[in-house]
Structure 1
Amino acid sequence: MLHRLAGAPEPDGPGELRALLDGTGLAAGFRPAVEAAAGSAEAARAGARATAEPQARELATALARAVTAGALAGAGADADCTAAERDRLVELLTTRLGGGARVPGARAAAVLGRLALRVTTQPLLNAWRGSLTAGAAPALGDILRYQARGAGLRAYLRERITARPGPTVLIGHSLGGIALVDLLALDAADGGPVPGVELLVTVGSQAPYLHELGALTALAPGSRLPYGFPRWLNVYDRQDVLSYLAAPVFPGDPRVSDHEIRSRQPFPASHSAYWKQQSLYESVERAVTEAGLG
């Protein structure tokens, strides 16, 4: 089995495995993950013990999980993989190795579990500061630039939003959510809400946190959202360290609600994993209906 894993060709053509690797951003890290698993001492020991068919099936599943974990770790922020896609990848790899995609037994799992920890968790723990900084730096850099020179972006957004008649639903991810909250709050406070905007959806946004810090352009710390600000659905993921709750920051405001997404992805992949979560679109659909736009 280890020989089969090490000698496995790169998946190519229109097959499901190739499409899955390409669609999740794991293609580049697949071969290194395969080689790491096949060449590991843990896999060799597990292979030596898998002398019967049940143990071989367990080993196939455990190896598939180790390869998948390694590919995810190697992809880092480039991974765009849902939990369902990850599980399907394990199934496909298990089938290629001649096993059955089920939970591995205690013997293979104990040995291969150490491999998964070594190729994923431990390197991340060793470099946790660098990983988090590298993952967060692009978004934080954009936010800082916006804080210094955000007027131009807000003017551009207002021009685009008002170019067509409403009703309008605005969706902003990360910095986009900050800029939209600022724009809508500034215009509403000036007595002229952005025409036609009925619903704001922020996804993985830092706007609530910046408001608490007193770093949001439109609102003083502790102030409420102005009259004329639209309904606001804020979508967050506990795994995404760049997403924050909005409702507790504006207590008692019926316009503001939070919806939790559970991507089951590590940061920074979780910051861009929202768009593959069906519950995101369901929550937006509900908010649109509640706003009387459906």
Structure 2
Amino acid sequence: MSFRVNLPTRVPRSPYHRPGDACGVERGMVDVRFVWVHGTGVRRKRHDHLFALVRAGLTARFPEAEITSCYWGDDHGATLALSGASVPAPRAGRAGGDSLATVPPTELAVAEWQLLLTDPLCELRLLPELRTDDEALGMPGVRAAGAGVADLMAGLPRRPADDDELGALLTSTCLDEAYAETLDLVACSEEFEAACASASDQAEAREVAAAAARAVVAQLLAEAAESALCTGDERDRIVDILTSRLGGTGRGAVGQAGGVLLRLGMRLTTQPALNHWRGPITSRSVPAVGDILRYQARGGPLRDSLTRHITAADEPTVVLGHSLGGIALVDVLALAAIRQEPLRNVRLLVTIGSQAPFLHELGALTGLPPGASLPPGFPRWLNIYDRADLLAYLAEPVFPTPSLVADHEVASRQPFPVCHSAYWKLDAVYGRIAKEIEELG
């Protein structure tokens, strides 16, 4: 069966059509059937809005075409079967305003350390600002108490002995490799030098010692990131040891700077908000994230539904898949071809903002074994992507078959995630699809 090409006297214009569009639209129309498959997180209202855009863009170029949608959000999308019973409830009695008295200590610690991991020297930077002018000046000719902290910092062994508790903790938490470099970084920082100079008595020097110890540990954790294997208890023990060796007194009452950081941490860092809003955030994210997880685990029913919809008519068919819809279409077409039962009415696959190539590179694409090429019988594949779309990937480098697979870049000039849905308003998308169909025809 072949495409029928008609030569109309007048071609309806797309609402997104630009003069000078070189897609070949004005030379002819193709009688073809389109099946559009939406992506993750889409439910009926959103589907209807997006499909209206798709239908308008395609109808403008193919007035005689049949344009259908395979809506799967209700039947095959994810839901929380027990209304989120698996989500831990937020703690009761959260404090409001500046009061920290009723905030659970674990929440305080998480908020404080999240701020320190973002800026390990922030507490040292804050200390001189909290001193009054008179306190900061000190007595002429008298060495500041904080200078002793600087001396102790300079004298710390850069490689603790194997039988030293600190050395054992650094090794077991995977923080040992950067320890010497981190000590030097903190010791030579302007923040540490200013904090030492501003400490005029022993109480303030002890506060500098504690802040410096936290700065060292925070820098180590920030540098190690996910490679660190460190619990909160281990972290606090390393801080206690360093504080003691810098002349402090280990863990004790929160100083001025620490109190300010705790309030800032509770207000500015994301963890307290995430704790409080975890339930609503989880519920709202279920369609987007849950659809992907459900498809990867139990995608068979959706693939069967797509197959029935695509093969319901014999006309030459173009299937268009957005995001997860594109993954499902690649799986459907690949599995059918592997079974030597290719969907012969499908002449063109169009994926838009698709992760199918990325999944195949990971060895996680259901339709193809890891490392396998596209099977005989797989249709021509046009993969459209926006470079700003973090969920869009290239197909050509993963499936290097120029006569079968082609990537095409468009640009909505929007950042992620807005660009992931903006494709359907881009004239360049419909123009490239029309050009591909004309070449096939």
Compute the TM-score of the two structures, normalised by the length of structure 2.
0.35
Say if 2:428 is the partner of 1:272.
no
Aligned with 2:403 (options 230, 242, 254):
254
Say if 2:376 is the partner of 1:227.
yes
Identity among equivalent pairs (%) = 60
Distance 1:274 1:287 in 2: 17
Distance 2:405 2:360 in 1: 14
Structure 1 residues 139 and 249 mapped into 2: Cα distance closer, same or farther (>3 Å)? farther
Aligned with 2:336 (options 182, 187, 190):
187
Distance 2:312 2:439 in 1: 25
Aligned with 1:152 (options 301, 308, 311):
301
Higher RCO (CA < 8 A, seq sep 6+) = 2
Distance 1:232 1:266 in 2: 26
Report if the CA contact (8 A) 1:261-1:279 is conserved.
Answer: yes
Pairs within 5 Å for 1:154-233? 154-233=303-382
1:222 Cα deviation (Å)? 1.5
Distance 2:370 2:402 in 1: 16
Structure 1 residues 235 and 140 mapped into 2: Cα distance closer, same or farther (>3 Å)? farther
Distance 1:213 1:250 in 2: 13
Matched residue, 1:24: none
Cα shift readout 1:85-140 (whole Å, capped 9, x = no counterpart): xxxxxxxxxxxxxxxxxxxxxxxxxxxxxxxxxxxxxxxxx97xx9xx99998544
Gaps of 5+ in 2: 1-49, 51-268, 275-280
Match of 1:274, SS? helix
Cα shift readout 1:6-53 (whole Å, capped 9, x = no counterpart): xxxxxxxxxxxxxxxxxxxxxxxxxxxxxxxxxxxxxxxxxxxxxxxx
Match of 1:259, SS? strand
Structure 1 residues 208 and 139 mapped into 2: Cα distance closer, same or farther (>3 Å)? farther
Compute the TM-score of the two structures, normalised by the length of structure 1.
0.53
Q: Which amino acid aligns with 1:277?
A: L
Distance 2:401 2:313 in 1: 32
Structure 1 residues 253 and 220 mapped into 2: Cα distance closer, same or farther (>3 Å)? farther
Aligned residues: 164
Report if the CA contact (8 A) 1:212-1:249 is conserved.
Answer: yes
Q: Which amino acid aligns with 1:207?
A: A
Distance 1:273 1:158 in 2: 27
1:218 Cα deviation (Å)? 1.1
- Higher share of residues assigned helix: 1
Cα shift readout 1:31-86 (whole Å, capped 9, x = no counterpart): xxxxxxxxxxxxxxxxxxxxxxxxxxxxxxxxxxxxxxxxxxxxxxxxx9xxxxxx
Gaps of 5+ in 1: 1-79, 81-125
RMSD of equivalent CA atoms? 2.2
Q: Which amino acid aligns with 1:245?
A: L
Distance 2:286 2:404 in 1: 32
Distance 1:139 1:208 in 2: 19
Distance 1:256 1:182 in 2: 15
Moved over 2 A (4+): 133-141
